[in-house]
Amino acid sequence: MRGRTDVDVAVVGGGLAGLAAAGRLLEGGRSPVLFEATDRVGGRQRTTRLGGHVLEEGAVFFGSNYPTLSAKLRETGLDAHLKVYDSRSIVNFPVGRQTGSDPAALLRTPNLPVAEKLALVPFAVTALPLAAEIRASLGTRVKSPGARRLDRIAASDWLTARVGPRFVDEVASPFMEALGFAPARDWSALGAMQILAFGGMAQLFGIREGNATFATRLADPLDVRLGTRVVRIAPDPAGIEIEVDAGGSTESVRARHLVLAVPAPVAAELVSGALRQTLRRFHFSSSIVAAVAIESLDIGMPAVSVFGGEGHGRIRGIVAEQAGPGEPVVSYAALAHPWQYEYFEAADSEVVRVLTDYLEIVNDKPVDVIESRVIRWEHSIPIPGPGSIPLREEAFRLATRVPHLDIAGDWTISPSQEGALVSGIEAADRVVGI
């Protein structure tokens, strides 16, 4: 063990939340030191190469109403490099029973009984104000109790009670599978509405060759210690005692304040007692995806999202992205339950095979696979189902009781780039305000 160093604010985790937290602390006149376990910043956002092509891992799309992300992209000079997707060309349902996202089509379709069509009207009247709020807060945290209550109800129960079971099977579930990787029963009503709002956006954006650059630029002004894994935190009379593993040697750091910007499971490991028990009950990570680089696939649109095809039971999504006209395609697939980590371990080759088979069927010609890869993120564990808001609130309440500690990270709010940035800034603001 080396000697002990003192720092003003220790930020643990160099993903978007930690970078945003440290940036905000610096702006607020504090002196943050950021500890990042790996040898790069960005966390679940990174850029790698696949078959000689750029592969943006982590977020592929974000919406026009992510204000914090938009501001950060401007600050870092990346707003000029955005790739714009027309969401109508991203969302595509090959599932025969689709009724589309056009409301009028819902009233015309023979797939819904008349009673359910009639029920859609009063449902729309009550749901539209909530939808507007959810859309405005997309990527961050909904505020009104009405909208928050939706997180305690399974989407399928909510929609069955208000519209009917056929609506759930024929419309809601395919739609959620298309955009959210899981059917209605696996989403809370709030999650379902968030997906709907996301899908309804006219334009979606991606940072072409940007995930790594974005993180690096956010890190530029900061004191970042790469390769430093925080392994223990404990209260200290003057702040918080942190044990850091820096590639074999252990260092002790005393911080006046600590911001944890790590995924919930890591926070649970680091924070003991009642808080740890609470944190363990809700974890989220949409983290396991297979990617395949394919030569000369004529998909005829900039991006296509394909879900739940017959015979591909365990695969729930494909996003095929063409970098430019005539350029090879990078294609992603996610499993029905992307959080089933062990299952995925055994299924790599199957996933890639099903993905390429599917694209061959869609294009009616053989595809030439250049390279394939399965991307895993470290923190992928079960979601217990709907009902997470009270637990989140409880954990947050407990976290604020621990002196000198604030928690960022995307587990407190919607798991998105915007959510990560906002939660980091909010955690930092509490420290700046002290």
Ligand X SMILES: Cc1cc2nc3c(=O)[nH]c(=O)nc-3n(C[C@H](O)[C@H](O)[C@H](O)COP(=O)(O)OP(=O)(O)OC[C@H]3O[C@@H](n4cnc5c(N)ncnc54)[C@H](O)[C@@H]3O)c2cc1C
Residues in touch with ligand X (CB under 6 A): 12-18, 35-38, 43-45, 58-62, 229-230, 261-263, 266, 286-287, 289, 377, 409-410, 415-420
Residue (278 or 287) nearer to ligand X, CB:
287
352 in Cβ contact with 292 (< 8 Å): yes
Please give the single-letter amino acid code of residue 111. Answer: N
CB of 323 to ligand X, least distance (A): 17
Strand locations in 58-196 (E): 62-63, 82-86
Residue (169 or 243) nearer to ligand X, CB:
243
Residue with tokens 């006149």, as numbered in its chain: 29
- What is residue 96's DSSP assignment? T
Residue (87 or 286) nearer to ligand X, CB:
286
140 in Cβ contact with 419 (< 8 Å): yes
CB of 63 to ligand X, least distance (A): 8
Residue with tokens 């990078």, as numbered in its chain: 330
CA 359 vs CA 89, 107, 256, 292, 306: distances in Å: 16, 32, 54, 11, 10
What is the DSSP track for 313-374? TTEEEEEEEESSTT--EEEEEEESSTT-HHHHHHHHHHHHHHHHHHHHHHHTS--EEEEEEE
Residue (322 or 414) nearer to ligand X, CB:
414
Kindly state the helix (H) or strand (E) to which residue 432 belongs, with its residue range.
helix 417-432
CB of 16 to ligand X, least distance (A): 4
Q: What share of the chain is helix, strand, coil (3-state, %, to 5)?
A: 40, 25, 35
CB of 208 to ligand X, least distance (A): 14
CB of 230 to ligand X, least distance (A): 4
CB of 401 to ligand X, least distance (A): 22
36 in Cβ contact with 259 (< 8 Å): no
Strand locations in 129-211 (E): 203-207
Residue (68 or 160) nearer to ligand X, CB:
68
3-state secondary structure of 104: helix
Q: Which of 269, 294, 237 minimizes the C-alpha distance to 378?
A: 269
Residue (159 or 233) nearer to ligand X, CB:
233
Residue with tokens 């955690």, as numbered in its chain: 427
CB of 339 to ligand X, least distance (A): 11
Residue (302 or 419) nearer to ligand X, CB:
419
Residue (153 or 246) nearer to ligand X, CB:
246
Rounded (10°) angle between helices 211-219 and 67-75? 70
CB of 364 to ligand X, least distance (A): 29
